[in-house]
Amino acid sequence: MTTSDYLRDARVAIIGAGAVGSVLAYRLAQAGAAVTVVERKRTGAGASGATFGWLNGVDKAPRDYHRLNMLGIRDHEALADELDGDWIHITGSLHWAETADGARRTGLEQVVRQLTAWGARVDRCTPEEAARDLEPDIAIDPATVGAVYLVHRSGWMDAVAMAHAALSAARERHAARLVRGEVTAIATSNGMIDRLDLADGTSLEADVVVNATGPDGAAFARIAGTTLPVERTPGLLLVSEPVPARLRRVLYGPGIHLRPDGGGRVLVQWEPLDSMAREGAPLAPEDPRVREAMDQAAAVLPALAGARVEDVRLGVRAVPRDGYPLVGFDPAIGNLYHVVTHSGITLAARLAGLVTEELTGGEAGDLAPYRPDRAAGSIGGHGSAE
């Protein structure tokens, strides 16, 4: 029996068309499954459309989790090559901390030592060298910063473009279906899902139901009559108007994070502003707190001084309670499969391959530590934000 034969008659319903759900739809349909994706808004409209989009393995311990993320970057490159995509930019990331901030500086040095011990290439330079050789338009004060670190296998991605390309390929090449709708009820019997009921009154039957709803993962599980330990964490991102700056890399400074956003725009995340995010309460671009965040960004990228904010993106992140992915069949519902993770941008392509391998009868040992029924704290360490 070939892989495609194994899934030839299997009906798989994937709930959510973000980065994770869209690539999984492509891989499963490619393997022979009859895939239906249910999305209540549009492709990438949830967390994937309001993400910093950082592809990285920084501060992602233990080593197996770091490795999973690094393989995720590799798999994204392969996917972009397969689909002729231009949404991925592995240009590296620059990291620094102020000398006077002992805790942050020590933490960064520990992360760098761990990365290099695991075989990652991390170069150290001075602020002057970073501006001269790497990012000519940045300004890092050498009087307050002693070292800047370049993490080479790191970058950023346009997650919406990736999700759209993957889902389009699933539909056009492998007959996957996209259904616009919201699951409002789930009928179960004997520990299995029998039927998904949508808000418009239609129903859907499937042999396997995949929960790829991101921050709505816990809510979807409740509809099915089970639980999933996922928290909703809102965050804010600012998008500048086009500015004259030659920014190529992710900049990860103390409290301020920047990256290109296409067309000369810059995406800005400022930790104090991020902490003010509240669901249902987006800030206007003219809000004084937004201006303060842009002033902080302009201290790093002077081209942003006085730049208008075109958009304030309020996103909600999926954060499993121990920080690690939740991937596998639900312990209470036999045909409900969860794929929910905070690192969905970096891990989407890798998880799609591993889940497809598992659902086609193969081994996926890399998923073993991330099962939904694992004991709390069984993995150790933590993951960085994306």
Cα angle value 73/257/309 (rounded, 5°): 115
Shared domain for 41 and 107, answered yes or no, is: no
Predicted confidence at residue 4, as pLDDT, reads 46
Q: Which amino acid is at 171?
A: R
Pairing label, strands 155-157, 54-55: antiparallel
Predicted confidence at residue 42, as pLDDT, reads 86
Predicted confidence at residue 50, as pLDDT, reads 84
Shared domain for 303 and 358, answered yes or no, is: no
Q: Does residue 242 belong to any structural domain of this protein? A: yes
Shared domain for 314 and 325, answered yes or no, is: no
- Cis peptide, bond prior to residue 282, ω within 30 of zero: no
Shared domain for 62 and 163, answered yes or no, is: yes
Q: Does residue 268 belong to any structural domain of this protein? A: yes
Shared domain for 163 and 306, answered yes or no, is: no
Shared domain for 238 and 95, answered yes or no, is: yes
Report phi then psi at 381, rounded to 5: 75, -160
- Domain C-terminal end among 318, 334, 351: 318
Predicted confidence at residue 3, as pLDDT, reads 44
CATH code of the domain in which 112 resides: 3.30.9.10
How many whole angstroms separate alpha carbon 275 and alpha carbon 85?
34
Predicted confidence at residue 6, as pLDDT, reads 59
Q: Does residue 53 belong to any structural domain of this protein? A: yes
Q: Does residue 167 belong to any structural domain of this protein? A: yes
Shared domain for 13 and 129, answered yes or no, is: no
Predicted confidence at residue 144, as pLDDT, reads 97
CATH code of the domain in which 193 resides: 3.50.50.60
Shared domain for 26 and 175, answered yes or no, is: yes
Shared domain for 275 and 171, answered yes or no, is: no
Predicted confidence at residue 326, as pLDDT, reads 97
Shared domain for 74 and 167, answered yes or no, is: yes
Q: Does residue 375 belong to any structural domain of this protein? A: no
Q: Does residue 385 belong to any structural domain of this protein? A: no
Residues of the domain holding 28: 3-83+159-229+321-370
Q: Does residue 197 belong to any structural domain of this protein? A: yes
**What DSSP line would sit under 87-154, residue for residue?**
-EE---EEEE--TT-HHHHHHHHHHHHHHHHTT--EEEE-HHHIIIII-TT----TTT---EEEESS-
Tally of structural domains, the chain: 2
Low-confidence ranges of the chain (pLDDT < 50): 1-4, 382-383
Length of the chain: 386
**Residues 90/154, Cβ–Cβ less than 8 Å:** yes
Shared domain for 256 and 145, answered yes or no, is: yes
Shared domain for 165 and 314, answered yes or no, is: no
Report phi then psi at 30, rounded to 5: -60, -35
Predicted confidence at residue 2, as pLDDT, reads 42
